Structure 1
Amino acid sequence: MSLPLEAAYVPLRARPIPRPGDAQDKMAAQSLPRPRSRGDAGEKTEPDERERDSDIDLNQVLGLGNRLVIIGGPGSGKTTVLLHMAWALASSLLTGQAEPAQSRLGLAVVATSELPLPIFVPLASFARFRRELPANAPARERALTHFISYHLIRKQADVDLPDDFFVQLLRDGRPVILLLDGLDEVANEEERAEVRASVEELVSGQERMRVVVTCRTIAYRSGGTALGVRFREIAVQPLDFEQHVVPMVRQAYACIHPQDADLRSERVQELLGGIRRLEDDRRARLGDDAQVLVDSPLMVRLLLIVQVNNRTLPDGRAELFDKAISALLQVDYGREQADIRELASDWKVFRDMAQHLAFHMHQQGRDQGREIGERALQKVLREEAEFRPHIDRFLSHARQRGSVLEERQGAYRFIHLAFQEFLVARYLREVTGDEGRDAILAVLGDRLDDPWWREPILLLAGYRASNAAKSARDFLGALARFGGEPNAQFSAAELAGTAALEWRECGEATRGGCARRIVELLGDESTLLGARPVVRARAGDVLSALGDPRFDQERFWLPADDGREDLEAAAKGDRVVRGGAWGFDRSDARCAYRSVAHPDSDPFVGFRVVLRSSPDE
């Protein structure tokens, strides 16, 4: 089913990030005398705009300047924002009316001739275009202006335009807005730096040209990705339940059931109630400060997909992704259940092919593991004889419907990294796991402290838990005691503890075993000093959530007799230098100590000792 952008779009919140020179400008402005106002006479006035750091609606960002970078996490809605901008501007230009550009984008439009022409450009396609050019290609063919003309005329527009139409348009300084999507989707840091340089070269000297770039936060702030200081960073904020999730669900179901108000209301309440239960259960397991699960448009979309197809919501992330992928791989021809037809002979093998491909891609690492060319994809799938008869149909399915895999000018990627990560977890359980638990641990051996593999490992634990509880408990116990060198040992114990916290039914024995393993590692001086501070700190956080067994419940959660010396050492700071960690029960914390980092190797965050003689003091 299709959700029209103009009907289903909900403006998100964004936070403008101050630029390096903003603080100096603000100080200089504050030092200047201000004209007398009503506020000087004691009346309330609005604070100066420069003193505000409040969030704004993301569809109002065009008023912040001509050079913008929208950054945010995966699935946070960055691409949809650009598509919404393009739709609003194109609609006004085509009709000659100020609406919807005026109300949807907050533009003070006097005449539609003042509106910029929106040009949407996927930067990953530009990088691939440059990569495939012959080595002796003229320099002008590597320029972003040349690609824009090539991309729009040859690939997108069925109109008779000269090959250099958009080159001339951009060169002449006509009012345009470049919507450059997915700087983070460029394959590696070296290519991202080249694309970034191409963007800066294009806009240099073009003061009237508006440019909006999107990029994942982590990718933008690493390597040579960040654009020059004239680009203003706008950070997409997590969803607020009432302000964003509720209207997203309501507007989606208004498109799904436009003629049946009662059914629409019923399904809306079911889904919103299910989301509330998911969040309540998560806080009960992880504490009140646990990160919200449904914090992005992608997660709302996943829940919609699962509810529409399954009528209920699962409790865990892994089960949620499993149901979402199954739903995405099935073809729905009608709104009524009786009219739904599944490609029963294909969708399950498609899922197996997708997980095989996901595991292969993930093994390539963060830089190269996000997309794959068609020839390489076919080669990977031909490794399994059972896949060979289905490859052409699998690729056709991806090109025509997108599903979990999408094609962009000959290259393929999963529509969201979260799907790739879950399918990696599923592969480890269903394929590698056929050889036993030790085979899975052997694959994870040198990847335990690699952030690129963190989510697949946690999802693996969740997927096992949703299918075989005893096997999952055994796996967490083995994972907690796995690892060779100190970083791997701490990471394995922390991952096992995190997975135990996320799994509501894992049991106190499993959680206790994970907590005791972390305490054991903290008590081994050689292991403690051999691990990176950030790894120790993460383990300390998990220990505090699990409940530190070194504190005695019968002594008001003070350390047991043999722990007094440790507490005294902590108070004197000896343990801070050693980088140890105490945990505590967040729900009933009467004694807490934790050192976050070794002061000689990382910025020292600090430690705290909280003592209460009774629960009421």
Structure 2
Amino acid sequence: MLLGHNCKPPRPALGAQVVVTGWEAPLARAVAGGVSKVVGTAVLRGVKSRRLKKYLEETDITQPDLPVDLSDALVPQVNQFVSSPELENLALSIASILLLDPAAKASGERFRDLREGFRWTCRLTFIGRPDEINRLGEALFDRVYEAVTRSIAVGQAVSTPHASIAAQAAVMKAASSAAAASVRNTKLLSRIEKLDEILSFEKSLRTQIASLHNGIRVPHTDTTKKVSYSKLFVQPTLRRIEEDEAENERDVNVNVLLLSTLRLIILGDPGGGKSTTSLKLTYDVASGRRSPLSATVPFLVVLRDYAKEYSKSRMPLIEYLAQLCRTPYSVEPPEDAIEYLLLNGRALVVFDGLDELLDVADRRQIVEIVEGFCYRYPTTPVLVTSRRVGYEEAPLDKDLFTVAQLQEFDDDQVETYARKWFSLDGSIPKPHREERATSFLRESELVKDLRVNPLMLSLMCSIYASENYIPTNRPEVYEKCALVLFDRWDRHRGIVAPLSFDAHVQSAMRALALWLYSKQEKQGGIPRKEIISFMKEYLLKKRFDNEEDAENAATEFVDFCKGRAWVLTDVGADLYWFTHRTFLEYFAASQLVRQHPSARDLFAELQDTIFRTQSDVVCQLAVQILGRTVEDGADDFLELAVDASHSASEEHRVSALSFASRSLRFVVPRSGVVRKIVEASFDIYVTSRPALGTSRVFRGIANSESIPVRNLLGASRENIPLISKYLQERADARLSTALDERCLALMLLTPSFYDDFGYWTEWAVDNWERMDSVIQRAQVQYWWIALEKAQRTGDFKSLVTQHGVGSLFQSVVINELPRIPLAAERFIFPQSHKQDLVANLAALDHFLTTNAAPWCYEDDMPWPLSAFVSDELRVIDQVSEREGRSVLVKLALPFMELPIKMNPDSLFRGDFIGGTDHPLLHLARGRVKKSESQKVNELIRSLDVSADTADLLRDWARNRVSLVGPSRRARS
């Protein structure tokens, strides 16, 4: 019987003792919640995180009862406690320590401080006799330790083939500080007399947070209007970014990722929904609704506000959290309350807007503070948001944080949002709202790439609702959106601007935006008097002839702006800043073009900025606005950028070409300009030589010299035909004189460089056919070309003849993403192409036998044993021909040997390998323990392989030969 909140335990006779039973389900949830964050981050980079916690919950990782007798009064307390954040936090801490020392015992030195802290937790939590509570604490700790150990084994057993053992570094740094955190927590708990005051504070704070963040503001309507999240919010999609995965996880949301990682950074574009997602998560946790976390209190830290406070007083982050409780939430934190919440699994900290710290030095300082916070509170979940562009200038430690990119809305999300938006539009009669949404979706297809941004989508809905059409030019859409924000909605609400919009308000806003944009060091807010002073000087030049009139108009204008949350936001005592950076950048770019109306003048103004790769959005918008207002303006600007790159330093050259190539997403210049951009981008890519030709790995596309080429592949559809033509011409010219590995990689492996596989996949296929004579020569020199050709033709005999058996186990890495399958994998895990591959097995047998071991390269083997020793291993038994089965066995041995070298004990944990019983597994065990090798001959006979394979297996099982070693190139 489950003893839970809705199930009362039977009452025994007075004075009797009861044994707690039926509590394994809530315990499993608590343990799964803690372990999945550690295992999911450190070991299972390739596992589908959305399934991990559920899998652990459904797996038998607990024991049926708690081996301690308890009084009647303690039973319901235990049942409640097993679902608490404190217990999940204990599981997380134990899992972190086990990462550092897998052999650590529950009674050992590693767990001394953690165990002592948990004793204090029990004393503060349970009401009963001290001796009974102590026994209960010891029993609970031991049972959680057992459950964590079992669940880690289960989690490793369900990892995907491409999970990297090296990824354990992702939490090792923070896990190493778990012991120090345990010591601090023990001291903290020992001086707390009662938890009542802290828990009362927590309840009040949660209520205040949930009340303040209980809805979403519609960005284009009455700025005071809020609607519930369910009426407008659309959950965005995140894509996890991992360097060591063959395939990044797709189609997940923040709730799913927080199930399997402790620290997450969300990167996104302006207006992409980063802050809204943070607010929604904050509300969900505070209200207890649909939260993925056991944490109960969310601390939302707007980093521009904290950075401002830090610059003034060097306020520690923990003190700032206390200040947040007071303002804006009006709750006074008791002594040690926040420390308790952070150390005991009850807090989530959200750091919003890392990108809003425009000064890179300031951003790096805040990054260090955030990382230091993670070390000090290693079990506290942390979420950070930042713009994607510019993040790498001051990134968070990749070993501490899982990085996810906020994806643009897909068609379904666009439709869901649009229909929700129009259902809220009171200006449209209810019977016509669905019809208006449908027509908007149809007509906005013309600017489909713009509506994928949530902010732009909302404003486009507003434009369509009032004007019934959508502009097709990007700056024009910004302009229309600005018109909606600054004029139409005010008129709709009966508000009259103090200045005529057409004559002065728009130009004044442009000037103000550019002035504010230049004040990067004051991004935390500009005093009202400074803004009025600037506008006064501006209006004296533009409209008024006396200072009093100009100052009055400037005051009216600032009051007009600050009364609209979508223009200027109050960020402090009489301090203001642009609410939406998107519009700050648009107006700043527009003003730049007004001040520098020719391509030459504008490029002279922006050249240094482009060379330093700063303010990319402003520069891109300025080029597009110039193209709209001046004949050939954008074309001439891009030509100037390419010409200037030729005489610049290499760093500045890369920056200029990156800008020019990225501009081809939005600008369609004349063919001569496209040719110049393509040729210059191609040349800088092929002339950079970071160890190509001497390594199995192509790092080129991840290097800065390759960014222009990658940008070309993401150009607009109108530009792509010319780009592909000029790339082919440039490549043909270079290959006509000599083989060039980087050039070949670009022409033949293009789909790996860019996510849009459609056009470029066909282009690469065409190049394989068109460049056949070049490929014939290149495959002798470059093993990866021979491998690619073998993958396409199924002729692996030529590959092994030219490059040895080791080439079957090598992988090509483009953009740090392994290209799969390996040649050996295609044999061992055949699917639709099984028949063709089996026909090649006999042909390979001779080469596998005669080529000297070791066959494979240790750094090329990303698979743990648990991934291989599973149902796929049975494929060997499904091949009827002895020769084919012999080859499969030989190819399988290196996949088994490398994990054995890394973790030999894993062979003897049935739960780790899923209980697979196969002759090869028993032979592998024989390599580790001689006692397991007594039935070698019997096991080999059961495999029914050729004589030479049997001899190899016999030597391999007795550890006389190794098939795993350093790469051939390294040895040479």
Common fold by TM > 0.5: yes
Sequence identity percentage: 19
Alignment partners' CA distance in 2, 1:166 and 1:492: 55
Alignment partners' CA distance in 2, 1:519 and 1:270: 39
Question: Contact 1:71/1:236 (CA < 8 Å) preserved in 2?
Answer: yes
Q: 1:248, CA displacement in angstroms?
A: 0.9
Question: Contact 2:654/2:704 (CA < 8 Å) preserved in 1?
Answer: no
Q: 1:59, CA displacement in angstroms?
A: 3.9
Match of 2:323 among 132, 136, 150: 150
SS in 2 for 1:239: coil
In structure 2, list runs of 5 or more residues that go unmatched. Answer: 1-220, 543-549, 689-702, 751-758, 775-812, 817-972
- Corresponding residue number in structure 1 for 2:291: 105
- Corresponding residue number in structure 1 for 2:737: 569
Question: Contact 1:319/1:462 (CA < 8 Å) preserved in 2?
Answer: no
Deviation string 1:200-240 (CA, Å, 9 cap, x unpaired) is 555666577544332334555443644862x5444433322
Alignment partners' CA distance in 2, 1:249 and 1:465: 31
Alignment partners' CA distance in 1, 2:607 and 2:371: 42
Structure 1 residues 204 and 453, CA gap change in structure 2 (3 angstroms): closer
Match of 2:670 among 487, 490, 511: 511
Q: Structure 2 length as normaliser, TM-score?
A: 0.44
SS in 1 for 2:259: helix
Structure 1 residues 340 and 176, CA gap change in structure 2 (3 angstroms): same
Match of 1:295 among 416, 430, 452: 452
Alignment partners' CA distance in 1, 2:277 and 2:582: 20
Deviation string 1:116-168 (CA, Å, 9 cap, x unpaired) is 133322121111012122xxxxxxx7112322333442x424x4x54xx2664
Alignment partners' CA distance in 1, 2:275 and 2:457: 16
Question: Contact 1:515/1:547 (CA < 8 Å) preserved in 2?
Answer: yes
Alignment partners' CA distance in 1, 2:264 and 2:682: 49
Alignment partners' CA distance in 2, 1:76 and 1:171: 33
- Corresponding residue number in structure 1 for 2:472: 315
- Corresponding residue number in structure 2 for 1:69: 265
Deviation string 1:260-307 (CA, Å, 9 cap, x unpaired) is 33321132123211332223xxxxxxxxxxxx4433322322322332
Give the letter for the 1:547 counterpart. L
- Corresponding residue number in structure 1 for 2:254: 58
- Corresponding residue number in structure 1 for 2:421: 252
- Corresponding residue number in structure 1 for 2:308: 128
Give the letter for the 1:252 counterpart. W
SS in 2 for 1:146: helix
SS in 2 for 1:407: strand
Q: 1:340, CA displacement in angstroms?
A: 5.3
Deviation string 1:477-529 (CA, Å, 9 cap, x unpaired) is 666656672577887688667657635xx6xxx5223134447768999x989
Q: Structure 1 length as normaliser, TM-score?
A: 0.66
Question: Contact 2:240/2:402 (CA < 8 Å) preserved in 1?
Answer: yes
Question: Contact 1:536/1:580 (CA < 8 Å) preserved in 2?
Answer: no
Higher helix share: 2
Give the letter for the 1:343 counterpart. A
Question: Contact 1:490/1:539 (CA < 8 Å) preserved in 2?
Answer: no
In structure 1, list runs of 5 or more residues that go unmatched. Answer: 24-50, 93-100, 108-113, 134-140, 280-291, 552-556, 595-602, 607-617
**In the alignment, is residue 352 of structure 1 matched against residue 525 of structure 2?**
no
Structure 1 residues 276 and 168, CA gap change in structure 2 (3 angstroms): same
Match of 1:185 among 356, 364, 367: 356
SS in 2 for 1:403: coil
- Corresponding residue number in structure 1 for 2:587: 423
Structure 1 residues 437 and 331, CA gap change in structure 2 (3 angstroms): same
**In the alignment, is residue 264 of structure 1 matched against residue 418 of structure 2?**
no
Deviation string 1:26-63 (CA, Å, 9 cap, x unpaired) is xxxxxxxxxxxxxxxxxxxxxxxxx9945323344443
Alignment partners' CA distance in 1, 2:557 and 2:261: 44
Taking the TM superposition and a 5 Å limit, the aligned residue runs for 1:201-600 are: 202=373, 209-218=380-389, 220-223=391-394, 225-226=396-397, 229=400, 231-242=401-412, 244-257=413-426, 260-279=429-448, 292-330=449-487, 332=489, 341-343=495-497, 345=499, 347-348=501-502, 349-363=504-518, 368=521, 373-374=526-527, 377=531, 380-381=534-535, 383-384=537-538, 385-386=540-541, 389=551, 390-409=553-572, 412-433=576-597, 436-467=598-629, 469=631, 485-486=647-648, 502-503=666-667, 510-518=669-677, 533-534=705-706, 537=709, 541=713, 545=720, 547=722, 566-569=734-737, 572-573=739-740, 576=743
**In the alignment, is residue 171 of structure 1 matched against residue 171 of structure 2?**
no
- Corresponding residue number in structure 1 for 2:213: none
Give the letter for the 2:238 counterpart. A
Q: How many residues align?
A: 507
Question: Contact 1:363/1:369 (CA < 8 Å) preserved in 2?
Answer: no
Structure 1 residues 9 and 490, CA gap change in structure 2 (3 angstroms): closer
Structure 1 residues 54 and 319, CA gap change in structure 2 (3 angstroms): closer
Structure 1 residues 309 and 121, CA gap change in structure 2 (3 angstroms): farther
SS in 1 for 2:469: coil
Structure 1 residues 587 and 262, CA gap change in structure 2 (3 angstroms): farther
| Aligned alpha-carbon RMSD (Å) | 4.9
Q: 1:379, CA displacement in angstroms?
A: 5.8
Question: Contact 1:421/1:455 (CA < 8 Å) preserved in 2?
Answer: yes
Alignment partners' CA distance in 2, 1:460 and 1:67: 37
SS in 1 for 2:487: coil
Q: 1:323, CA displacement in angstroms?
A: 1.2
Give the letter for the 1:569 counterpart. T
Alignment partners' CA distance in 2, 1:11 and 1:212: 16
SS in 2 for 1:121: strand
Deviation string 1:543-591 (CA, Å, 9 cap, x unpaired) is 972616987xxxxx9869xx97655236x229949x999x9x9799566
**In the alignment, is residue 8 of structure 1 matched against residue 8 of structure 2?**
no
Question: Contact 1:445/1:483 (CA < 8 Å) preserved in 2?
Answer: no
SS in 2 for 1:406: strand
Structure 1 residues 342 and 59, CA gap change in structure 2 (3 angstroms): farther
Alignment partners' CA distance in 2, 1:523 and 1:130: 45
Q: 1:246, CA displacement in angstroms?
A: 1.0
Give the letter for the 2:387 counterpart. R
Question: Contact 1:85/1:105 (CA < 8 Å) preserved in 2?
Answer: yes
